[in-house]
């Protein structure tokens, strides 16, 4: 028998998920929609955002979802997105990319692009959502960023990605310190290796090696990260801010 914690989300809360078109972001959209939230699925891919939108339950009265196209690395695009609807009481920054290469040969453009999407994107979305919440006098908000365990421990071939994810943690802790007085909590989830289109690109040999290092002996599922985001989104985590929660099956616990 399985049971699920009922989260104390307001029924008509609006949630914004960047990178909601795939993988972890999609799983988070599904989880929160099933709790009764109205979800804005924002992604650079219109098709992926619409696919997620089509899969969301909307059985509860007053619940309505929408899909939107955004490039989180562009201030203009993010500003347009957040002007479009009422300030979301919950925001998850799940958009992210990898462009792997060894440090010795990594292209400057590949470094810049990964930092622009993963780190600057998290900054732009967090800033826009926080500004909107403060401007309308919202009593509270929960902003969740998605870092990575490799931001803490590094990863061969991912100088750009691990640097961007370490930055996301610093950004989140600073945002937590600055925004607490407005009732806005900011927390970061640090997934380990989760089965999504992002990790589908990783060669099977490397995946087997990773699994052998995970104490729980397997990759994680997007829904397992989504469940932690749902907790951080809800009032059940009302005294938690500025923290990072590892969702790794025990990988790199020491």
> Could you say whether residue 198 binds ligand NAD (CB under 6 A)?
yes
* Reduced 3-state DSSP string for the chain: CCCCCCCCCCCCCEEEEECCCCHHHHHHHHHHHHCCCEEEEEECCHHHHHHHHHHCCCCCCCCCCEEEECCCCCHHHHHHHHHCCCCCCEEEECCCCCCCECHHHCCHHHHHHHHHHHHHHHHHHHHHHHHHHHHCCCCCEEEEEECCCHHHHCCCCEHHHHHHHHHHHHHHHHHHHHHHHHCEEEEEEEECCECCHHHHCCCHHHHHHHHHHCCCCCCECHHHHHHHHHHHHCHHHCCCCCCEEEECCCCCCC
Active-site pick, 95, 161, 164, 245: 161
CB of 189 to ligand NAD, least distance (A): 8
When binding is defined by CB under 6 A, the residue of 13, 23, 35, 119 that contacts ligand NAD is 23
When binding is defined by CB under 6 A, the residue of 44, 90, 114, 133 that contacts ligand NAD is 44
239 in active site:
no
Closer to ligand NAD at the Cβ: 23 or 36?
23
> Could you say whether residue 36 binds ligand NAD (CB under 6 A)?
no
- Within 154-183, the residues that bind ligand NAD by CB under 6 A are none
CB of 151 to ligand NAD, least distance (A): 9
Closer to ligand NAD at the Cβ: 10 or 243?
243
> Could you say whether residue 233 binds ligand NAD (CB under 6 A)?
no
Which residues are part of the catalytic machinery?
161
Q: Where on the chain is the footprint of ligand NAD (CB under 6 A)?
A: 18-19, 21-25, 43-45, 48, 70-73, 94-97, 117, 121, 146, 148, 191, 193-194, 196-199
């Amino acid at each position: 028998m399985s049971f699920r914690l009922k989260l104390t989300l307001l029924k008509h809360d609006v949630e914004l998920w960047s990178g909601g078109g795939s993988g972890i972001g999609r799983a988070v959209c599904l989880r929160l929609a099933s709790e009764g939230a109205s979800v804005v699925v924002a992604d650079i891919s219109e098709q992926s955002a619409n696919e997620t939108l089509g899969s969301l339950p909307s059985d509860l009265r007053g619940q309505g979802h929408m899909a939107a196209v955004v490039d989180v690395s562009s201030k203009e695009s993010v500003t347009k997105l957040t002007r479009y609807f009422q300030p979301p009481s919950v925001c998850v920054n799940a958009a992210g990319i990898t462009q792997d290469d060894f440090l010795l040969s990594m292209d400057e453009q590949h470094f810049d692009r990964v930092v622009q999407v993963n780190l600057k994107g998290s900054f732009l979305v967090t800033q826009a959502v926080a500004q909107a919440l403060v401007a309308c006098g919202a009593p509270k908000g929960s902003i969740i960023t998605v870092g990575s365990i490799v931001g803490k421990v590094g990863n061969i071939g991912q100088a750009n990605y691990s640097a961007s994810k370490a930055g996301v943690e610093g950004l989140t802790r600073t945002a937590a310190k600055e925004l607490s007085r407005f009732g806005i909590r900011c927390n970061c989830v640090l997934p380990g290796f989760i089965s999504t289109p992002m990790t589908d690109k990783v060669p099977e040999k490397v995946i087997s090696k990773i699994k052998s290092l995970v104490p729980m002996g397997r990759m994680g599922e997007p829904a397992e990260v989504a469940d932690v985001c749902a907790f951080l989104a809800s009032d059940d985590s009302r005294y938690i801010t500025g923290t990072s929660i590892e969702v790794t099956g025990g990988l790199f616990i020491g």
